[in-house]
Amino acid sequence: MKDFRYLEDVATLVLDEEKCIGCGLCTEVCPHAVFEMNQNRAKIVDFNACMECGACVSNCPADAISVSPGVG
């Protein structure tokens, strides 16, 4: 979402590109277009748009993504 941005550098999103199997599901479920596919691997393209909803985490079949709001 371009008109609504929240604080920068606070999200706890972590993507382990090594584990990614390239299914593309994270790009489908993320409501803020945080991921894009790049040569059959997911890539974080808009880190600061992440609202830590966890949709990508619960759907990634390779457990390659994590968010941990409330920690740290």
Partner 1 sequence: MEMKQTRGKQENPNRSGVSTANVQIMPAMDMSGSAYGTEENRPLAAYEKPGYELCGYVDRFLETEAGPVPSVRRVLDKADRLSTIAVRCGIRRHNYLVSPGLYGIGKPDTGSEVLVTANYKLTFDHLRSALGNVSAWILVLDTRGVNVWCAAGKKTFSTRELVNRIRAVSLETVVTHRRVIVPQLGATGVSARQVREQSGFRVVYGPVRACDIPAFLNNGRKADKQMRQVTFPLFDRFVLTPVEIHSALKPMGITVLVLLILSGIGPSFFSFQEAWDRGGTALLALAAGFLSGAVLTPVLLPFLPSRKFAFKGVVTGSLCAAALLPVLVPAVGSFTGAAALYIFSVMVSSHLAMNFTGATPFTSPSGVEKEMKQYIPLQMAGVLVSAGLWIYSAF
How far is Cα 19 from Cα 31, in angstroms, rounded to an integer?
Answer: 22
Taking CB within 5 to 8 Å according to partner kind, which of ligand SF4, partner 1, none is near residue 40?
A: none
Burial grade of 8 (CB within 10 A; 0-12, 13-18, 19 or more): exposed
User: Which residues, 5 to 64, sit near ligand SF4 by CB under 6 A?
Assistant: 13, 20-26, 29-32, 34, 42, 50-56, 60-62, 64
Contact status: 32 vs partner 1 (CB under 8 A): yes
| 23 bridge partner residues | none
The residues of the shown chain that bind partner 1, judged by CB under 8 A, are: 1, 3-8, 10-12, 25, 28-33, 49-55, 58-59, 61, 69-70, 72
